[in-house]
C-alpha cells in the first residue's frame, strides 16, 4: 500500500499570470479504478453563513460531477477520517496506521495525530495499491480540515483571516482524484488558495485525463462474429499514449465496438509471440473487465453480456514480458456472440492466413448447452457458423464439412445432405454448399443423431468446417479445432 498526503496553503501573493494556451495540470500516476467515488460527508456542524459543512462539501462534490466525468457519491453518515490512523513516530507527514478503506471528512486539530504544519488549511490522506495501465489505484482518501483555522462558506474574493471551506473542499477533492498542484495556469489546484472558487479549465482537463481520456490512439472498428489478425509492434500506440500519462509503455491496439442490443460476447486473443491481455472499457476508458492467461495459457478470454452502447476493447500485452514469452508480434482477436463455441484460430490448407471465425458445437438440448459427450439415447444436433473474411464476402465459394470418426474413417457432407466416404484427397472434396459467400454462414450439419440403433454408440467424432473461394480452390479456410464429441455406449 502506498500512502501520500497533499496540503493546501493560504495567502499566497496573487501573481498576475498570463494564461498559456496549453493545459498544465499535474497528476501522480494514481487514480480511482472507477469514476464513481463515495465520500461519507456527515461531518457535524454548520458555517457562520448557515450552510452545514456537509452541504458545502457536497456542493464541492457536485461541481466536479457537473463539470467532469467523475461521479462523487455522498453518503450522509459520519465516519471518522482518522479511523485507524494515529500519530506517527516523527509526528509529521503521513500518520501511522492503514486507514479503514472509507473516504470521509472532518475538522481536526491535528492530521490524525500528526502536526498540520504552518498555515496548512487541510490535508488529503490517500492510500493506493498497484493498478493497471501504469497507474496505482486509490483505495482510500480522507480529508482533514484544520480546525485551528477560521472557516466560513462564501463566494469570490477571499476575506482576510476567514477561509472558504467550499473552495478548499474543491481543491482537496482534486487531490482525492489524483491531481497535484498547478501553479503555471489559473487553477483550483493552485498550491495556495486564491480568489477562485470554481473549477477552472485546467482542473477539468486534469480530471478528464484521468477519468475520461480522449481517443488518443487510432480506433479500429470491431463487430460481433469477426476474427481479426493484427500485431502489437511499432508504430502502434502505447498505453501511456492512450491515457496521456502513466508509466505503462506496452503496445496497445484500441478497438471500438458499438452494440445496438444487449449481447453476450466472447472475446478471445491468441498469440504465439506475445502474452495476450484483453481489457474491456466503456467509451471513456473506464475499465469493465480484464483478462490474462486463460486456462493456464498465455491467451486472453473474456465472456461478458453487454448492454447496448459503445465500448473499447484494448488488445494489450506487458511492458516487460513476465511468465509468458514476448511483448510484441502478431495475434488473432476473435469476437463471437457466444451462441456457438469458437473453434480455435482460423487455419488454411495453403498457409495463407485469412480473417475467418469458425464456430460450432454439438447439443442435445436445442443449443442451450454444447457438450463433448452424449448418452446413446440423446438426440444430438451439430451446428456450425463461419464468419467469412470480409474480403471474401460476396465472392463465389464453397462450404465444406469433413467428419472424422474415432476409427479413422472419414466422410464429407454433400450438397444433397448425405455423408459420402472421403479418400483424403482434397481435390476430390465435395462441397456441402456452393454459391456467393455471406458474411455469416450457418451450417446445420446433422439433426437428431442417435447412438442407439445407428451403431454409433462408443464412437467419437471430429467435425471440421471451412470454405474456399472459387478463385483459390486449393486454399480452404477452416477452424484449427474441430467440433469434438463422443457417444457413450
- Which CB atom, from 27 or from 317, has the smaller least distance to Zn ion? 27
> How many residues at the interface with Zn ion, by CB under 5 A?
2
Q: Which residue has the cell 479418400?
A: 423
Min. distance of Cβ 263 from Zn ion in angstroms?
44
Sequential DSSP letters for 319-338: SS--SSS-BSEEEEEEEE-S
Tally of helices (H runs) and strands (E runs) in the chain: 4, 33
Binding mask 7-26 for Zn ion (x = CB under 5 A): -x------------------
Sign of the dihedral defined by the CA atoms of residues 370, 372, 373, 379, in that order: positive
Instruction: With H, G, I as helix, E, B as strand and everything else as coil, classify residue 145.
Output: strand
- Which CB atom, from 8 or from 300, has the smaller least distance to Zn ion? 8
CA distances from 71 to 34, 36, 74, 173, 210 (A): 9, 5, 10, 12, 13
- Which CB atom, from 6 or from 477, has the smaller least distance to Zn ion? 6
Query: In angstroms, rounded to a whole number, what is the distance separating the alpha carbons of residues 403 and 421?
Result: 9
Q: Which of 4, 5, 6, 398 binds Zn ion (CB under 5 A)?
A: 6
- Which CB atom, from 6 or from 30, has the smaller least distance to Zn ion? 6
- Which CB atom, from 182 or from 268, has the smaller least distance to Zn ion? 182
- Which CB atom, from 168 or from 347, has the smaller least distance to Zn ion? 168
- Which CB atom, from 170 or from 354, has the smaller least distance to Zn ion? 170
- Which CB atom, from 134 or from 191, has the smaller least distance to Zn ion? 191
Nearest one of 26, 18, 27 to 186, comparing CA atoms: 18
Q: Which residue has the cell 482537463?
A: 205
3-state DSSP: the chain helix, strand, coil percent, rounded to 5? Answer: 10, 40, 50
Query: In angstroms, rounded to a whole number, what is the distance separating the alpha carbons of residues 365 and 359?
Result: 18
Question: Which three three-digit cell numbers place residue 319?
Answer: 511492458
> Which residues neighbour 133 within 8 Å (Cβ) at sequence distance 6 or greater?
239, 242, 243, 246, 248
Min. distance of Cβ 170 from Zn ion in angstroms?
11
3-11, 84-92, 145-153, 415-423 -> range binding Zn ion (CB under 5 A) = 3-11
Query: In angstroms, rounded to a whole number, what is the distance separating the alpha carbons of residues 39 and 55?
Result: 12
Min. distance of Cβ 284 from Zn ion in angstroms?
26
CA distances from 99 to 15, 91, 209 (A): 38, 17, 27
Min. distance of Cβ 62 from Zn ion in angstroms?
20
Paired residues of 329 in beta bridges: 232
- Which CB atom, from 172 or from 275, has the smaller least distance to Zn ion? 172
Contact 262, 305 (CB under 8 A): yes
- Which CB atom, from 8 or from 61, has the smaller least distance to Zn ion? 8
Min. distance of Cβ 192 from Zn ion in angstroms?
9
Min. distance of Cβ 232 from Zn ion in angstroms?
39
Min. distance of Cβ 161 from Zn ion in angstroms?
20
Q: Which residue has the cell 467435425?
A: 463
Min. distance of Cβ 7 from Zn ion in angstroms?
6
Min. distance of Cβ 126 from Zn ion in angstroms?
12
Nearest one of 306, 313, 232, 308 to 275, comparing CA atoms: 232
CA distances from 63 to 68, 174, 269, 427 (A): 8, 11, 41, 71
Query: In angstroms, rounded to a whole number, what is the distance separating the alpha carbons of residues 91 and 112?
Result: 10
Min. distance of Cβ 8 from Zn ion in angstroms?
4
Contact 179, 140 (CB under 8 A): no
2-10, 67-75, 359-367, 378-386 -> range binding Zn ion (CB under 5 A) = 2-10
**251-310: which residues touch Zn ion (CB under 5 A)?**
none
**Which residue's C-beta sits nearest to Zn ion?**
8
- Which CB atom, from 4 or from 127, has the smaller least distance to Zn ion? 4
Min. distance of Cβ 33 from Zn ion in angstroms?
23
413: contact with Zn ion by CB under 5 A: no
Between strands 287-292 and 329-336, the pairing is unpaired
Min. distance of Cβ 181 from Zn ion in angstroms?
6
6-14, 101-109, 379-387, 414-422 -> range binding Zn ion (CB under 5 A) = 6-14
> Which residues neighbour 413 within 8 Å (Cβ) at sequence distance 6 or greater?
401, 403, 419, 432, 445
- Which CB atom, from 93 or from 293, has the smaller least distance to Zn ion? 93
Binding residues for Zn ion, rule: CB under 5 A, are: 6, 8
Amino acid at each position: 500500500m502506498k500512502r501520500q498526503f497533499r496540503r493546501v496553503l493560504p495567502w499566497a501573493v496573487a501573481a498576475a499570470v498570463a494564461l498559456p494556451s496549453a493545459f498544465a495540470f499535474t497528476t501522480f500516476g494514481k487514480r480511482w479504478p472507477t469514476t464513481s467515488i463515495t465520500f461519507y460527508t456527515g461531518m457535524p456542524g454548520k458555517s457562520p453563513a448557515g450552510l452545514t459543512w456537509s452541504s458545502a462539501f457536497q456542493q464541492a462534490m457536485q461541481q466536479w460531477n457537473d463539470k467532469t466525468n467523475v461521479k462523487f457519491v455522498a453518503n450522509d453518515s459520519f465516519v471518522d477520517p482518522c479511523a485507524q490512523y494515529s500519530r506517527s513516530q516523527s509526528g509529521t507527514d503521513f500518520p501511522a496506521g492503514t486507514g479503514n478503506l472509507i473516504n470521509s471528512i472532518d475538522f481536526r486539530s491535528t492530521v490524525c495525530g500528526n502536526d498540520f504544519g504552518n498555515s496548512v488549511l487541510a490535508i488529503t490522506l490517500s492510500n493506493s495499491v498497484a493498478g493497471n495501465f501504469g497507474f496505482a489505484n486509490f483505495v482510500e482518501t480522507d480529508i482533514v480540515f484544520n480546525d485551528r483555522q477560521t472557516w466560513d462558506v462564501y463566494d469570490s474574493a477571499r476575506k482576510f483571516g476567514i477561509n472558504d471551506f467550499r473552495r478548499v473542499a474543491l481543491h482537496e477533492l482534486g487531490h482525492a482524484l489524483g491531481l497535484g498542484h498547478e501553479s503555471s495556469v489559473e487553477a483550483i489546484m493552485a498550491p495556495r488558495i486564491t480568489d477562485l472558487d470554481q473549477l477552472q479549465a485546467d482542473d477539468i482537463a486534469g480530471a478528464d485525463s484521468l477519468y475520461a481520456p480522449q481517443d488518443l490512439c487510432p480506433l479500429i472498428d470491431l463487430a460481433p462474429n469477426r476474427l481479426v489478425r493484427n500485431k502489437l509492434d511499432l508504430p502502434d500506440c502505447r498505453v501511456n499514449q492512450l491515457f496521456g500519462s502513466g508509466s505503462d509503455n506496452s503496445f496497445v491496439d484500441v478497438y471500438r465496438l458499438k452494440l445496438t442490443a444487449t449481447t453476450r460476447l466472447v472475446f478471445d486473443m491468441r498469440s504465439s509471440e506475445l502474452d495476450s491481455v484483453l481489457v474491456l472499457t466503456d467509451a471513456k476508458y473506464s475499465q469493465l473487465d480484464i483478462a490474462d492467461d486463460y486456462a493456464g495459457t498465455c491467451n486472453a478470454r473474456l465472456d461478458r453480456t453487454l448492454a447496448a452502447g459503445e465500448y473499447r476493447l484494448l488488445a494489450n500485452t506487458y511492458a516487460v514480458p513476465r511468465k509468458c514469452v514476448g511483448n510484441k508480434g502478431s495475434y488473432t482477436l476473435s469476437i463471437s456472440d457466444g451462441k456457438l463455441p469458437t473453434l480455435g484460430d482460423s487455419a488454411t490448407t495453403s498457409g495463407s492466413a485469412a480473417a475467418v471465425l469458425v464456430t460450432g458445437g454439438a447439443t442435445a438440448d436445442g443449443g442451450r448447452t454444447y457438450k463433448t459427450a452424449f448418452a446413446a439415447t440423446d438426440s444430438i444436433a451439430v451446428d456450425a457458423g463461419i464468419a467469412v473474411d470480409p474480403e471474401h464476402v460476396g465472392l463465389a465459394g464453397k462450404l465444406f464439412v469433413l467428419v472424422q470418426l474415432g476409427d479413422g474413417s472419414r466422410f464429407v457432407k454433400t450438397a444433397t445432405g448425405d455423408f459420402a466416404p472421403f479418400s483424403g484427397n482434397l481435390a476430390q472434396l465435395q462441397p456441402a454448399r456452393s454459391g456467393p459467400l455471406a458474411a455469416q454462414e450457418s451450417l446445420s450439419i446433422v439433426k437428431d443423431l442417435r447412438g442407439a440403433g445407428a451403431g454409433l454408440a462408443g464412437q467419437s467424432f471430429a467435425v471440421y468446417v471451412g470454405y474456399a473461394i472459387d478463385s483459390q480452390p486449393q486454399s480452404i479456410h477452416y477452424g484449427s479445432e474441430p467440433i469434438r464429441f463422443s457417444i457413450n455406449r
